[in-house]
Amino acid sequence: MATLAEIREFLPNSDCGQCGLTCAEFAEFLQRHELAPEDCPVLHELDYAGFIEALREVLGEPQTKPAAGMAVDPKKCIGCGICVTLCEYHLGNCADVRLSKGPRDLEQVIFHIVNGLVVVVHQEHCTRLVQAAEKCSKCAQHCPTKAITLY
């Protein structure tokens, strides 16, 4: 990530206020990719030719956070079904699981057991993806063989 000093090398640093901020504040917005170099009107003046391009180079591409997800290690999974039974989403959305039965409607499950192994069918329902990664980790916590990795 570009440092504020690196960013400020290519700002006018005149605190003219046309952007509604000071140059230092503008630099912080640039660093977080919440404003772009071209949002400073002064940088469009001839005296600053090339500064917008230089700033784009210094700032680089915004870092995108990888989506929260999960992986099941088939070598470790023993097909006990604990994860299916305890899954936060299943308990709220799958009547079969609530009744301690194997789920029949696979639209309503994140994973189920096939031939003694967990198979993920609808990871997109997982609370970690729908809400936030820190909201649930029950399946991994309760897996007796640590077959589930959440990331």
Which residues lie near ligand SF4 (CB under 6 A)? Answer: 11-12, 14-19, 21-23, 26, 40-42, 72, 77-83, 87-89, 110, 118, 126-128, 136-139, 143, 145, 147-148
Q: Which is nearer to ligand SF4, 65 or 124 (CB)?
A: 124
In whole angstroms, the minimum distance from the beta carbon of 26 to ligand SF4 comes to 4
Q: Which is nearer to ligand SF4, 15 or 34 (CB)?
A: 15
In whole angstroms, the minimum distance from the beta carbon of 80 to ligand SF4 comes to 4
What's the token pair of residue 80?
């006990």
Q: Which is nearer to ligand SF4, 59 or 139 (CB)?
A: 139
Q: Which is nearer to ligand SF4, 15 or 107 (CB)?
A: 15
In whole angstroms, the minimum distance from the beta carbon of 78 to ligand SF4 comes to 5
Angle between helices 51-59 and 23-31 (to 10 degrees): 50
In whole angstroms, the minimum distance from the beta carbon of 69 to ligand SF4 comes to 10
d(CA 19, CA 62): 21
98-114 in b/e form (b: 16+ CB < 10 A) is eeeeebeeeebbbbbbe
Which parts of 60-114 fold into alpha helices (H)?
A: 82-86, 88-93, 95-98
Other C-beta atoms lying within 10 Å of the C-beta of residue 49: 10
Q: Which residues pair with 111 in a beta bridge?
A: 120
